[in-house]
């Protein structure tokens, strides 16, 4: 089946309208009419080939919400008409210890929603900047938010789970002081979720203009990280810092804010490495520097249900498909409050 999509033919080309083919709906597959798709900074990294291995044409998008249009004969979890989501994962080996634990995100054979190896033509996956997608039911999520919120739910499928998973893993909650660095798509979700978990949340931003917003999102305090005095006031005080910054920067400035045995987890994935942190910042206080990749399917469902229960959605700017290239430029400048979401109905226009 041919569907309208938006993607690029090369790293130095803008995204444009194109047609892609979706596989026939198999016995375990769910065919989804996509209503909305969020724009993640990873889409930009990959379409510009900032990480190795982008295949072209590349159709990004892994923050997908839509409605079930058809189901295969063996599908038990979904029926036609259900409102569902798809995040960053559309396949995995389903038999390794990671998959057995519901940590498909760490499976060595995890298949990303776009640019992942697949038997479907042309040999790599195509993402959510498209009218429809066909996905094995294991990787499809139930959406329990009100229908009116659907566009703002889309970013939960990546920005939501990528912040929820490390916040849970490192125990964000009452009595814990948690920092969130970088107030973009991921960071603004991190603030909302950490606040809902009951932590004391401090937002770190390079943008003075985001101070008031960060408070409104749920931060108890806001620090402009370019201001050394403001940073020093928080020395050795954090249990956990979630770093979402999409560019290389000085990690030591944040490691020095962790208390003994505190952890800073990197989720931002810049195209080039950070300068090496100073080893003494780690050994003197037995601190940890860690990383985290999205989240597994069961935890993604847990996150969606947590957000539905707490009334959490993303703050979004809804755009048409022909505004995607402009949205990328604005995202690079930090000029988005706080996630662009594509109205996929505009793909056919």
Q: Which residues bind Zn ion (CB under 5 A)?
A: 40, 42, 158
Is 206 near ligand NAP (CB under 6 A)?
A: yes
Identify what 267 binds: ligand NAP, Zn ion, none; CB under 5 to 8 Å per kind.
Answer: ligand NAP
Among 32, 59, 313, 331, binds ligand NAP (CB under 6 A): 331
Is 155 near ligand NAP (CB under 6 A)?
A: no
Pick 34 or 294: Cβ nearer ligand NAP? 294
Give 61's Cβ-side CA count (13 Å radius): 32
Residues 102-141 that bind ligand NAP (CB under 6 A): none
CB 214 within 8 A of CB 191: yes
Is 158 near ligand NAP (CB under 6 A)?
A: yes
The residue among 230, 229, 257, 225 whose CA lies nearest residue 241 is 257
Among 194, 199, 241, 294, binds ligand NAP (CB under 6 A): 294
Among 58, 199, 201, 267, binds ligand NAP (CB under 6 A): 267
Q: Minimal distance in Å, beta carbon 185 to Zn ion?
A: 8
Identify what 135 binds: ligand NAP, Zn ion, none; CB under 5 to 8 Å per kind.
Answer: none
Number of residues located near ligand NAP, criterion CB under 6 A:
30
Applying CB under 6 A, the span of 15-23, 29-37, 191-199, 202-210 interacting with ligand NAP comes to 202-210
Lookup: tokens for 226: 């370019």
With tokens 């008409």, the residue in question is: 81
Helices 159-169, 185-196: axis angle to 10 degrees equals: 40
Among 268, 277, 306, 314, binds ligand NAP (CB under 6 A): 268
Identify what 269 binds: Zn ion, ligand NAP, none; CB under 5 to 8 Å per kind.
Answer: ligand NAP
Is 49 near ligand NAP (CB under 6 A)?
A: no
Lookup: tokens for 16: 């444009």
Which residues lie closer than 8 Å to 76 by C-beta, 6 or more apart? 137
Pick 45 or 259: Cβ nearer ligand NAP? 45
Applying CB under 6 A, the span of 26-34, 127-135, 200-208, 322-330 interacting with ligand NAP comes to 200-208
Pick 110 or 267: Cβ nearer ligand NAP? 267
Among 60, 66, 185, 296, binds ligand NAP (CB under 6 A): 185
The residue among 154, 145, 162, 185 whose CA lies nearest residue 34 is 154
Is 48 near ligand NAP (CB under 6 A)?
A: no
Q: How many angstroms separate the CA atoms of 28 and 186, rounded?
A: 31
Applying CB under 6 A, the span of 27-35, 39-47, 301-309, 321-329 interacting with ligand NAP comes to 39-47
Among 10, 11, 232, 247, binds ligand NAP (CB under 6 A): 247
Closest residue to ligand NAP: CB criterion: 184
Applying CB under 6 A, the span of 96-104, 204-212, 250-258, 300-308 interacting with ligand NAP comes to 204-212
CB 36 within 8 A of CB 154: yes
Q: Minimal distance in Å, beta carbon 146 to Zn ion?
A: 24
Binding-site ranges for ligand NAP (CB under 6 A): 40-42, 45, 158, 162, 182-187, 205-207, 210, 244-247, 249, 267-270, 292-294, 331, 334
């Amino acid at each position: 089946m041919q569907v309208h999509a938006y993607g690029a033919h090369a790293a130095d080309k803008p995204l444009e309208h194109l047609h892609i083919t979706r596989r026939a709906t198999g016995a375990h597959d769910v065919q989804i009419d996509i209503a909305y798709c969020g724009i993640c900074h990873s889409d930009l990294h990959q379409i510009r080939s900032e990480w190795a291995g982008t295949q072209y044409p590349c159709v990004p998008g892994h923050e997908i919400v839509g409605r079930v249009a058809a189901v295969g004969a063996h599908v038990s979890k979904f029926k036609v008409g259900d409102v569902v989501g798809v995040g960053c994962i559309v396949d995995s080996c389903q038999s390794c210890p990671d998959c057995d634990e519901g940590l498909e995100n760490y499976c060595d054979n995890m298949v990303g929603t776009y640019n992942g190896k697949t038997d479907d033509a042309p040999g790599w996956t195509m993402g959510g900047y498209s009218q429809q997608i066909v996905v094995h039911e294991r990787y499809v999520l139930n959406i329990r938010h009100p229908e009116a919120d659907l566009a703002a739910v889309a970013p939960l499928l990546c920005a939501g789970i990528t912040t929820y998973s490390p916040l849970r893993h490192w125990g964000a909650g009452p009595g814990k002081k948690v920092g969130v660095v970088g107030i973009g798509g991921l960071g603004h979700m991190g603030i909302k979720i950490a606040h809902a978990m009951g932590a004391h949340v401090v937002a770190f931003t390079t943008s003075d203009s985001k101070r008031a917003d960060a408070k409104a999102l749920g931060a108890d305090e806001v620090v402009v990280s370019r201001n050394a005095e403001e940073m020093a006031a928080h020395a050795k005080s954090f249990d956990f810092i979630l770093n979402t910054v999409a560019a290389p920067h000085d990690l030591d400035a944040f490691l020095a804010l962790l208390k003994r045995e505190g952890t800073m987890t990197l989720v931002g994935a810049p195209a080039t490495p950070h300068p090496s942190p100073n080893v003494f910042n780690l050994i003197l206080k037995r601190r940890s520097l860690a990383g985290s990749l999205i989240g597994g399917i069961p935890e993604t469902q847990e996150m969606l249900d947590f957000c539905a229960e707490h009334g959490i959605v993303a703050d979004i700017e809804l755009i048409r498909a022909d505004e995607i290239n402009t949205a990328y430029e604005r995202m690079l400048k930090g000029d988005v409050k706080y996630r662009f979401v594509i109205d996929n109905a505009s793909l056919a226009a």
